[in-house]
């Protein structure tokens, strides 16, 4: 943190239950040379990684479906969300973390992953940066049923669907997850499935 226009005045932990919610008071130097004191909340949950598994030969992708409480309380009737496999880095580097998460969630043990970009997903309130990956998969990489890590109380359904159907699911509103839409569009733009 080396922006000379910003000076952190106070940092107060509001919650440290699941992750950390901070209230940050800071001084900001405006373009006109005056200083303004602002207070904002920032949710720190660590950084994460996500991946789109695709199979060129079969023209399919692997996605997951799981319950997401925030979507439920914001009007998603079932609370279920279709997503690309994703998880927090914990103490791993992004590539190691996404390989671990892929095996836990989808049951596929992948070796070769390609990082395609990184992005802040909700920079107005969440500190997380997300690392985006793609990887080819095949049936012989399947080592388990997936479903998530038992200790993390994940109930993940693994979906293998056609790439064409996945794109249609964006248009018809079945896929509403930002990271998933970004990776599917990346695959389309870059002609990953040929």
CATH number, domain with residue 161: 3.90.79.10
What are phi and psi for residue 53, nearest 5 degrees?
-90, 130
127 found inside a domain: yes
Query: Within 13 A of 159's CA, how many CA atoms are on the CB side?
Result: 19
Q: Which two tokens stand for residue 157?
A: 């359904």
106 found inside a domain: yes
| Residue 83 sits in the same domain as residue 127 | yes
DSSP per position, 83-99: E-EEEE-TTS-HHHHHH
**Rounded CA gap, 66 and 47, in Å?**
20
Q: How many domains, the chain? A: 2
**Rounded CA gap, 137 and 58, in Å?**
10
30 found inside a domain: yes
| Residue 21 sits in the same domain as residue 105 | no
Task: Give pTM, 2 decimals.
Answer: 0.92
Q: Is 86 annotated among the ligand-binding residues?
A: yes
| Structural domain boundaries enclosing 29 | 6-44
pLDDT tens across the length of the chain (194 residues): 578 899 999 999 999 998 999 999 999 999 999 999 999 999 999 999 999 999 999 999 999 999 999 999 999 889 999 999 999 999 899 999 999 999 999 999 999 999 999 999 999 999 999 999 999 999 999 999 887 766 666 789 999 999 999 999 999 999 999 999 999 999 999 999 98
1 found inside a domain: no
| Residue 22 sits in the same domain as residue 82 | no
| Residue 28 sits in the same domain as residue 119 | no
Phi-psi region of 95 (alpha: psi -120 to 50; beta: other; left: phi over 0): alpha
Q: Is 101 annotated among the ligand-binding residues?
A: yes
């Amino acid at each position: 943190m080396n922006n000379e226009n910003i000076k952190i005045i106070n940092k107060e932990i509001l919650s440290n239950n699941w992750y950390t919610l901070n209230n940050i008071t800071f001084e900001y130097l405006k373009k006109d040379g005056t200083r303004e004191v602002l207070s904002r909340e920032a949710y720190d949950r660590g950084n994460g990684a996500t991946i789109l598994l695709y199979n060129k030969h079969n023209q399919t992708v692997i996605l997951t479906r799981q319950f997401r409480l925030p979507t439920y309380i914001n009007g998603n009737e079932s609370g279920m969300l279709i997503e690309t496999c994703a998880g927090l880095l914990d103490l791993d580097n992004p590539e190691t973390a996404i390989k671990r998460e892929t095996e836990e969630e989808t049951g596929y043990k992948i070796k070769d992953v390609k990082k395609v970009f990184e992005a802040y997903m909700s920079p107005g309130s969440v500190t997380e940066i997300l690392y985006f990956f793609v990887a080819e998969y095949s049936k012989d990489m399947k080592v388990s049923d997936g479903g998530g890590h038992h200790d993390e109380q994940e109930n993940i359904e693994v979906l293998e669907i056609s790439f064409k159907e996945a794109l249609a699911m964006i248009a018809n509103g079945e896929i509403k997850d930002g990271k998933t839409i970004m990776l599917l569009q990346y695959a389309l733009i870059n002609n990953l499935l040929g």
